Amino acid sequence: MNAESFDVERIRKDFPILSRELPGGRPLVYLDSGNSSQKPTQVIETMREHLASHYSNVGRALHALGSESTEAYETAREKIAAFVGAPSRDEVIFTKNASEAINLVAYAFGNPVNTDERFKVGPGDEIVISEMEHHSNIVPWQLLAQRTGATLRWFGVTDEGRLDIGNLDELVNERTKIVSIVHQSNVLGTVNSVSPILARVREVGALMMVDASQSVPHQPVDVAELGVDFVAFTGHKMVGPSGIGVLWGRRELLDAMPPFLGGGEMIEAVWMDHSTYAPVPHKFEAGTPPIVEAIGLGAAVDYLTSVGMDEIKRHEKELVTYALDALDGFPGLRIIGPHTAVARGGTVSFTLEGIHPHDVGQILDDVYGIAVRVGHHCARPLHLRFGIPATTRASFYLYNTTAEIDALVRGLHHVQKVFG
């Protein structure tokens, strides 16, 4: 696809919800895709079709529907593996969401049943995250530190909203067991450069995880190229359904890790006093999985691939450049995050002098039908870093237009009129 063939109006037609009217005849201006994205007809129909014609449980059902359902579920895994450049489909583990994926990895550390040296964690060992993490990449590591007596440390964030790796060599050292960093910040929009951190991680023999929840939906991500050990992302932010997330991990690490949840389908054999486990990915997929959701996510990556991830990235860069231009210099508005569209995704968070984000969001929604997110966006430490309780966040996706950013700016002028 070249630039001319990216037709946002045609793309919008794929998303039925974008043409609905809100009560009072307001058109919908959806600028909250960083929270959760909308779904194209292709995904909705794939899920409907599966439920209507092919549905049954996967793996354990031997009848015709069982094999059709299993086939569709495993095909979805293959599509997702290809989408993120996973060397093997077996390295793609379906989880409930990115949070579960990160918890799964954290649980493998300092776990008495895991004898692999790389996962041993105790007092004196260190876990490294950053100040710009979503709570889902903070709390699981806090829990690990509490369980094991290890020390949790973190990279700071610069005033501009970039990861501060000035103390990389001190922060990541021989005591470090795992470094887990967000790929693209859900508040700042900042896209972090993984390679310098990874180089240091390799030097000290630690492992590295990347929370790619905000990057996989918006730019081409190739896990092999990234070179890290674990990558987590979630379906609902990438035009797929909620209830399905993905953990990608290196095969030999996944093999070394203990199961996370025990239950049906994750076993090889069970006796009353012990069990042996299925090979990956099934070792980590206890119980009936979110079958239709996984198939829906397969349709979502087909859709994104058909549009082209490079095209999506380019479109969002245009949008964020336009938005930064319109918002920078807006009276009383402070952008929290980089002011330039370099190494930056389509997420713009800001404060308006003297007006609480909840009031901003309420007026934008009620008067103009503009959906933004307000609050701390599950990144409270980052807001504390900037000395603010909350921000208003507009986040863009492939279906957004510059006209919608114009509407946002008009809405913000009105907000100032009401509260000024």
Partner 1 sequence: MIAESMYQELILEHYKHPQGRGLREPYDAEVHHVNPTCGDEVTMRVKVDDGGKVLDVSYDGQGCSISQAAASVLHELTTGSTVEESLSVVDEFTRLMQGRGQVEADEDVLGDAVAFAGVAKFPARVKCALLAWMAYKDAVVRSQA
In the complex, the residues that contact partner 1 under the rule CB under 8 A are 23-24, 355-359, 362-363, 365-367, 374-376, 380, 383, 389-390, 418-419
Nearer to partner 1, 174 or 366 (CB): 366
Our answer to whether residue 378 is catalytic in this structure is: yes
Options 171, 182, 378, 415, the catalytic residue: 378
Using the CB atoms, write b or e for 342-358: b if 16+ within 10 Å: eebbbbbbbbbeebebe
How far apart are CB 314 and partner 1 at their closest, in Å?
35
Are the beta carbons of 198 and 51 closer than 8 angstroms?
no
How far apart are CB 419 and partner 1 at their closest, in Å?
7
How far apart are CB 351 and partner 1 at their closest, in Å?
12
Nearer to partner 1, 27 or 308 (CB): 27
How far apart are CB 289 and partner 1 at their closest, in Å?
31
- The type of residue at 143 is L
How far apart are CB 136 and partner 1 at their closest, in Å?
17
Nearer to partner 1, 23 or 124 (CB): 23
How far apart are CB 153 and partner 1 at their closest, in Å?
25
Q: Who contacts 71 (Cβ-Cβ below 8 Å, separation ≥6)?
A: none
Provide the annotated active-site residues: 378
